[in-house]
Amino acid sequence: MSLRQRLLLLFSLTVAAAVAAVSWTVLLRIRQVFEQRDQDETALFVSQFQREFQHRSADVASAIDRIASQERVRNMAFELVQSGDTAPFLNEAQTLAQDARLDFLEIVGPDGGIVSSAQWPARFGYQEPASKATTQTPFLKREELPDGSTALGLFSVQAIHGSEPAVKLVGGVRMDQGFLADIPAAPGMQVGLYSEAQAEQAGTGNASGFDAKNFVGPDGAVPSGIKYAGLIEKARRSGHQESGVLHLTSQRDESVAATAIPLKSSAGGVLAVLTVAISRNALVAEQKQIRGIAYGVAGGGILLAIIFSLWIAARVSRPVEELARAAEEVASGRWDARVPVRGSDEVSVLAESFNHMTEQLETQRESLVQSERVAAWRELARRLAHELKNPLFPLQLTVENLARARQLPPAEFDEVFNESTHTLSMEIGNLKKIIGRFSDFSKMPKPELERVDAKDLVARVRNLYAAGSEDGPRVDVVTELEDAPMPMMVDPELLHRALSNLVLNAKDAMPDGGTVRIAARNRESKVEIRVSDTGQGLTPEECERLFTPYYTTKQHGTGLGLAIVQSVVADHAGTISVESREGQGATFVITLPRADA
Partner 1 sequence: MFRRLAISFVISVAAMNAMARTRPHYGGTLHVEIAGDAWERPAGVARRLVYDGLTQFDTNGTLRPALALTWEQDNNFHRWQFRLRPGVRFHDGSPMTSAAIVSSLTASCSANCPWDTVKAVGPLVIFSNDSPMTNLPALLASDQFLIALTANGDGRSPASAVGTGPFQVTGFNNGVLALAANETCWSGRAFADGIEIRVHRAVRDQWLDLSLGRADVVEVPAEQLRLAQQQHLSVIQSPPIVLLALQLGESGMLANVKARGAIAAAVDRGALYNVIFQKQGEVTASLLPQKMSGYSFLFSTERDLNRAHQLRGGLATGAITMSAEGDGAMQLAAQRIALNLHEAGFNVQMAAAGTQHADLVLRQFLIAGSDCGAAMERILWDAGLPASVADKTSEDLYKRELSILDNHRIVPLLDLPRGYAIGARLRDVHLRADGSPDLSSASLEDVR
Among residues 487, 479, 481, 482, the alpha carbon closest in space to that of 452 is found at 487
Please state the separation of Cα 90 from the chain's center in Å.
83
Is the previous residue joined to 391 through a cis bond, with omega within 30 degrees of 0?
Answer: no
Pick 98 or 396: Cβ nearer partner 1: 98
Taking the C-alpha atoms of residue 102 and residue 376, their distance in angstroms, rounded to an integer, is 130
Stretch that binds partner 1, among 120-128, 189-197, 226-234, 429-437 (CB under 8 A): 120-128
Could you give the count of Cα atoms lying within 13 Å of 218 in the half-sphere of its Cβ?
12
Shortest Å distance, C-beta 251 to partner 1: 41
Question: x/- site string to partner 1, residues 71 to 90, per CB under 8 A?
Answer: ---------------xxx-x
Residue 593: how many CB atoms within 10 A of its CB? 14
Question: 233 vs 236, 238, 264, 283, CA distance in Å?
Answer: 5, 9, 14, 26
Please state the separation of Cα 176 from the chain's center in Å.
58
Pick 106 or 491: Cβ nearer partner 1: 106
Pick 90 or 189: Cβ nearer partner 1: 90
Among residues 158, 157, 167, the alpha carbon closest in space to that of 75 is found at 167
Shortest Å distance, C-beta 159 to partner 1: 23
Stretch that binds partner 1, among 119-127, 185-193, 476-484, 486-494 (CB under 8 A): 119-127
Taking the C-alpha atoms of residue 66 and residue 59, their distance in angstroms, rounded to an integer, is 10
Question: x/- site string to partner 1, residues 309 to 338, per CB under 8 A?
Answer: ------------------------------
Among residues 94, 103, 98, 114, the alpha carbon closest in space to that of 156 is found at 103
Is 123 a binder of partner 1 (CB under 8 A)?
yes
Pick 91 or 137: Cβ nearer partner 1: 91
Q: List the one residue from 121, 188, 394, 468 that touches partner 1 (CB under 8 A).
A: 121
Taking the C-alpha atoms of residue 350 and residue 320, their distance in angstroms, rounded to an integer, is 9
Question: x/- site string to partner 1, residues 30 to 69, per CB under 8 A?
Answer: ----------------------------------------
> Count of residues binding partner 1 (CB under 8 A)?
14
Pick 107 or 503: Cβ nearer partner 1: 107
Pick 95 or 243: Cβ nearer partner 1: 95
Contact call for residues 54 and 46 (beta carbons, < 8 A): no
Pick 147 or 470: Cβ nearer partner 1: 147
Pick 89 or 551: Cβ nearer partner 1: 89
Which residue type, as a one-letter code, is found at position 142? R
Among residues 139, 440, 143, 453, the alpha carbon closest in space to that of 265 is found at 139
Q: Which residues pair with 522 in a beta bridge?
A: 527
Taking the C-alpha atoms of residue 323 and residue 307, their distance in angstroms, rounded to an integer, is 23
Shortest Å distance, C-beta 223 to partner 1: 30
Is 104 a binder of partner 1 (CB under 8 A)?
no
Concatenated DSSP letters of 538-568: --HHHHHHTTSTT--SSSS--S-HHHHHHHH
Pick 116 or 580: Cβ nearer partner 1: 116
Pick 147 or 524: Cβ nearer partner 1: 147
Taking the C-alpha atoms of residue 126 and residue 114, their distance in angstroms, rounded to an integer, is 6
Pick 80 or 461: Cβ nearer partner 1: 80
Subset of 210-269 contacting partner 1 (CB under 8 A): none
Q: List the one residue from 3, 46, 120, 348 that touches partner 1 (CB under 8 A).
A: 120
Pick 64 or 115: Cβ nearer partner 1: 115
Contact call for residues 527 and 454 (beta carbons, < 8 A): yes
Is 124 a binder of partner 1 (CB under 8 A)?
yes
Shortest Å distance, C-beta 119 to partner 1: 11
Stretch that binds partner 1, among 13-21, 61-69, 117-125, 299-307 (CB under 8 A): 117-125
Taking the C-alpha atoms of residue 438 and residue 387, their distance in angstroms, rounded to an integer, is 11
Shortest Å distance, C-beta 115 to partner 1: 9
Stretch that binds partner 1, among 116-124, 127-135, 501-509, 540-548 (CB under 8 A): 116-124
Contact call for residues 183 and 98 (beta carbons, < 8 A): no
Which stretches within 443-480 are classed as H helix? 454-465
Is 122 a binder of partner 1 (CB under 8 A)?
yes
Is 202 a binder of partner 1 (CB under 8 A)?
no
* 17 φ/ψ angles, rounded to the nearest 5 degrees: -65, -40
Q: What is residue 213's DSSP assignment?
A: G
Subset of 128-147 contacting partner 1 (CB under 8 A): 146-147
Q: List the one residue from 24, 126, 311, 377 that touches partner 1 (CB under 8 A).
A: 126
Q: Which residues pair with 216 in a beta bridge?
A: 193, 221
Shortest Å distance, C-beta 80 to partner 1: 13
Taking the C-alpha atoms of residue 265 and residue 140, their distance in angstroms, rounded to an integer, is 5
Shortest Å distance, C-beta 86 to partner 1: 7
Positions in the binding site for partner 1 (CB under 8 A):
86-88, 90, 120-126, 146-148
